A = this chain, B = another copy of it.
């Protein structure tokens, strides 16, 4: 937890930005896995964490813009619980620890919210919270999402987009854990092992860093299958292994790192060729990222590097700028360059991508690939954003485009056939926009061909 003044200041700012009514910020409940009392790890809601900082389940924060007061509501544990759990702070003590003067039980919450018409909440992503909001505010369960507050949403985005020094410190801690996860897994990436062994190693390293993974680990010798959470393949020589994984700190700040390594530890000529192209795009994004540029422009700068590289291999043809304008290169990278990162790995994704990654000035593109860019806004100092270009030879997608004759003036489909068995590569860092440019966060994790081969040889 940060010191209480941090949370007081954040709530004060939020109250000012929203300006009227009552803001309700429910903390999460435990999440049942296969029965009520067998739960997944407890993950506090990120909005609640940002403004109230507390990790206990079943808490509700209220920020009253009309009377200027903050509240924390929850039922205290009873004495029987405490025999099993050991001594626990009261709700009043929890509230005080984050500078909240007013507290009460859930009956008091019901009283506080009864009949309130000018309320604000974030659209819930869990059904139990939806049911709570319906009950507290007298809404129909199915209508809850509709009444979510855009004023509150945008006020939260405004504050959370700019990371403070103490937040950056936490994020770098999460990257330290990711370092251990990735470097250890690289050394294990030898033929004969299974993906789940390496994923298991990473899970363990994340917990040893005292937090969960920040998202389900991607660990696959089929990097071209983008939504791939199975870990059942055997590692064989000749495959690239894509490892996309990060950790959360005990305060739930995240890391999100991708490394792609050749099974066995040595890149062959084709692997090296594609790897250098993707690395070039990753480095180009770092080179151009600075305040004032939009991340859409950074995405396009990285895209030009990719297009240039593919041209060199004879996969694409024509002028680089024309290729990028037409989106032909997106056949091999159908996703955006990156997303914001903070208390969520896709930071604030529950607020809606359009509200977080775009604004009045910048709108999402309609184009395939670029349209998937989660963050296209103009960058400001304090933004933390991922830089994750990739190259994927997706046979089903290649066949579809080919059949449609899509971008055929730029794509050498005959040449492309030779690459359909390649798989995929992605390289991802977490970067901070500084006053003058940007900085790759955290302890550097082996990234060049040479660094990776040396690490895997140890």
Which residues of A line the B interface, CB within 8 A?
31-41, 43, 45-46, 81-87, 125-128, 130-131, 134, 141, 194, 196-197, 199-210, 215-216, 222, 225-228, 231-232, 252, 334, 343-346, 349-350, 394, 396-397, 400
Contact = CB atoms under 8 A, between A and B. Distances in A.
A205 B216 contact: no
- A126, A199, A226: residue with the most chain B Cβ atoms closer than 10 Å: A126
A419 to B, nearest CB: 17
B350 A35 contact: yes
B131 A83 contact: no
A349 B37 CA distance: 9
Contacts of A400: 83
A41 B216 contact: yes
A203 B199 contact: no
A251 to B, nearest CB: 13
A86 B34 contact: no
- A32, A194, A397: residue with the most chain B Cβ atoms closer than 10 Å: A32
A202 B206 CA distance: 12
B125 A126 contact: no
A237 to B, nearest CB: 22
A84 B31 contact: no
A231 B126 CA distance: 27
Contacts of A208: 196-197, 200-201
A396 B78 CA distance: 13
Given A131-B127, A226-B84, A35 B201 contact: no
Given A33-B31, A199-B207, A345 B38 contact: yes
A344 B86 contact: no
Contacts of A35: 46, 125, 344, 346, 349-350
A26 B197 CA distance: 31
Contacts of A215: 38
Given A34-B43, A196-B208, 11 more contacts: A34-B344, A35-B349, A83-B394, A86-B222, A86-B225, A130-B131, A131-B131, A199-B207, A200-B206, A201-B204, A202-B204
Contacts of A39: 216
Contacts of A81: 227
Contacts of A125: 32, 34-36
Contacts of A40: 31, 33, 40-41
A196 B216 contact: no
A386 to B, nearest CB: 14
Nearest to A33: B43
A457 to B, nearest CB: 24
A203 B207 contact: yes
The 10 closest A-B pairs by CB, nearest first: A204-B204, A200-B207, A200-B208, A127-B127, A35-B350, A127-B128, A40-B40, A84-B227, A35-B349, A86-B225
Contacts of A82: 396
A141 B130 CA distance: 12
A154 to B, nearest CB: 17
Given A31-B33, A38-B349, A125-B35, A200 B196 contact: no
Contacts of A207: 196, 199-200, 203-204
A95 B40 CA distance: 29
Contacts of A344: 34-35, 38
25 contacts: A31-B31, A32-B125, A32-B126, A34-B43, A34-B350, A35-B350, A36-B350, A38-B215, A38-B344, A40-B40, A82-B396, A83-B396, A83-B397, A84-B227, A87-B396, A126-B127, A127-B128, A194-B210, A196-B207, A199-B207, A200-B203, A201-B204, A203-B204, A204-B207, A210-B231
A182 to B, nearest CB: 14
Contacts of A201: 204, 208
A201 B180 CA distance: 13
A349 B84 CA distance: 20
Nearest to A43: B33
Nearest to A45: B34
Nearest to A215: B38
